[in-house]
Amino acid sequence: MTGSADGTDDPAIPDVVGVAGGGRMGVGIAHAFLLAGASVIVLERDDEAASQARVGLLRAARASIDRGATPETFDALEARMSFTASADPLAGTGLVIEAVPEDLVLKLEVLARVEAVLPGDAWLASNTSSLSIDDIAATLDRPDRFCGLHFFNPVPASSLVEIVRGARSAPSLIEAARGWVAAIGKTPIVVKDSPGFASSRLGVVLALEAIRMLEEGVASADDIDTAMVLGYKFPVGPLHLTDLVGLDVRLGIADYLESTLGERFAAPALLREKVAEGKLGRKSGEGFFTWPE
């Protein structure tokens, strides 16, 4: 186990944490564990993507120093991060979190590749926001050492991590996961494997209804969001949040939930149209709102 950034021993955090996927979510997860004192290894599909992940994590580390979020120096943080296109370095990790896009085939490929090099006492998790943990676990050699760890975007600003307990997840894994989440300064909730878990299932219901209201001309996007922010004390409105999450991500989750839970999760035509037009939210510059670069 490792020491935390303030120099105290923190037995909850593995010495080395791997993150498979170096996009926005993966970099955010790696950043959280880095600030908690772990060394992190980010696995990407090729050298170019690994280099891009490095730029993102270095930028996040610098921002943390500038805002006083860590007492560590930039050099100290940089020394504890590494980036690879080969899974082999993950053989030295205690925990690997898969954070690739929400595509079941891709996730299964990446998890199989990672599990093949992990030591027998390492833990494995997926950052999936809706896919079945049990279905994924059925493809693994050690399903008892696998669970869901659903982080939220943006990771640094989010205080929640949803721990998804599969039917074969070891109780000791779930308790360890509670410790990891607390040690990185976030709050864990534990849910059993179920379509959409707790957060995505509830969040998508609200988002889809807000999109239908916009589609029907009930109110503007600003006014719909303001109703929830001021009327129900939401930190941001459902349309703003959909732009942050990504309209394509919302659509993928809605389609999955419709296939498993029924027509109440059917995506509105407006959502499909915007995704088809490439209006994916903040990452593309436009979704339900316009996002300046």
Residue 217's domain is classified under what CATH number? 1.10.1040.10
In a domain, 84, yes or no: yes
Angle at 54 between CA 127 and CA 75, to 5 degrees: 115
Q: Please state whether beta strands 39-43 and 95-98 pair in parallel, antiparallel, or not at all (unpaired).
A: unpaired
On whether both 90 and 229 belong to a single domain, the answer is: no
In a domain, 293, yes or no: no
On whether both 78 and 156 belong to a single domain, the answer is: yes
On whether both 273 and 154 belong to a single domain, the answer is: no
On whether both 61 and 170 belong to a single domain, the answer is: yes
On whether both 101 and 72 belong to a single domain, the answer is: yes
In a domain, 8, yes or no: no
Neighbours of 38 (CB within 10 A): 30
In a domain, 212, yes or no: yes
On whether both 79 and 123 belong to a single domain, the answer is: yes
The pLDDT score that the predictor gives to residue 11 is 55
d(CA 63, CA 53): 15
The pLDDT score that the predictor gives to residue 130 is 86
Domain span including residue 53: 16-192
Structural domain count of the chain: 2
In a domain, 250, yes or no: yes
Low-confidence stretches of the chain (pLDDT beneath 50): 1-9
Q: Would you state the structure tokens that stand for residue 242, as one six-digit string?
A: 């959909």
- Taking the model in full, what pTM does it have? 0.86
On whether both 42 and 103 belong to a single domain, the answer is: yes
- Please name the residue ranges forming H helices in the chain: 24-35, 47-66, 74-79, 104-115, 133-137, 171-183, 199-215, 221-232, 238-245, 247-261, 269-276
Q: Which residue, of 192, 219, 237, is where some domain finishes?
A: 192
In a domain, 1, yes or no: no
The pLDDT score that the predictor gives to residue 250 is 94
In a domain, 4, yes or no: no
On whether both 188 and 236 belong to a single domain, the answer is: no
Q: Is 119 helix (H, G, I), strand (E, B) or coil?
A: coil
On whether both 218 and 163 belong to a single domain, the answer is: no
On whether both 244 and 182 belong to a single domain, the answer is: no
On whether both 223 and 266 belong to a single domain, the answer is: yes
The pLDDT score that the predictor gives to residue 69 is 93
